[in-house]
Structure 1
Amino acid sequence: MHTKTYAPHIFLAWYVLWWSILAVAPLDRKDWALENLLALALVGTLIATHRRFRFSSLSYLLITLFMSLHAVGAHYTYAEVPLGFWLKDILSLSRNPFDRIVHFAFGFLLVYPLKELLVRTGSVRGFWAGYLPISGTLAQSGLFELVEAVVAGIVSPDLGAAYLGTQGDEWDAQKDMAAALAGAVLMTILVGLFPKTFRISPAAPDDPTSIPTSVKPY
Structure 2
Amino acid sequence: MTQSTFSHYFPHGLAITYAIFWAILAVNPVMRDVWWAENIPLMGVFALLVVTYKNFRFSNLAYALMSIWLILHTIGGHYTFANVPFDFFTDLFGFERNHFDRLGHYSIGFYAFPIAEYLTRKNLARPVIVYLFGLFAIMALAAGYEIIEWWYAVLAGGEAGIEFLGSQGDIWDAQTDMLADTLGAVTTLILFYFFGIKPNEQS
Q: TM-score, normalised by structure 1?
A: 0.83
Matches within 5 A, 1:15-94: 15-83=18-86, 85-94=87-96
**Residue 108 of structure 2 is aligned with which of 106, 109, 125?**
106
Moved over 3 A (4+): 151-154
Q: Is the 8 A contact 1:28 1:77 kept in 2?
A: yes
1:37-96 deviation digits (Å, cap 9, x = unpaired) = 11111111222222222211211111112201111111111001112x221112111210
Q: Is the 8 A contact 2:117 2:196 kept in 1?
A: no
For structure 1, the 5+ residue unaligned runs are: 206-217
Matches within 5 A, 1:118-157: 118-154=119-155, 156-157=156-157
What is the match of residue 186 of structure 1? 187
CA distance in 1, matches of 2:135, 2:84: 28
CA distance in 1, matches of 2:56, 2:148: 26
Between Structure 1 and Structure 2, the one with more helix by share is 2
RMSD over aligned Cα atoms? 2.0
1:204 Cα deviation after fit: 7.5
1:90-130 deviation digits (Å, cap 9, x = unpaired) = 211121010011111211x2211111122123532322222
Q: Is the 8 A contact 2:123 2:199 kept in 1?
A: no
How many residues were matched structurally?
Answer: 198
What is the match of residue 199 of structure 1? 196
- Percentage of matched positions with identical amino acids: 36
CA distance in 2, matches of 1:176, 1:188: 19
Q: Is the 8 A contact 2:112 2:185 kept in 1?
A: yes
SS in 2 for 1:6: helix
SS in 2 for 1:103: helix
SS in 2 for 1:111: helix
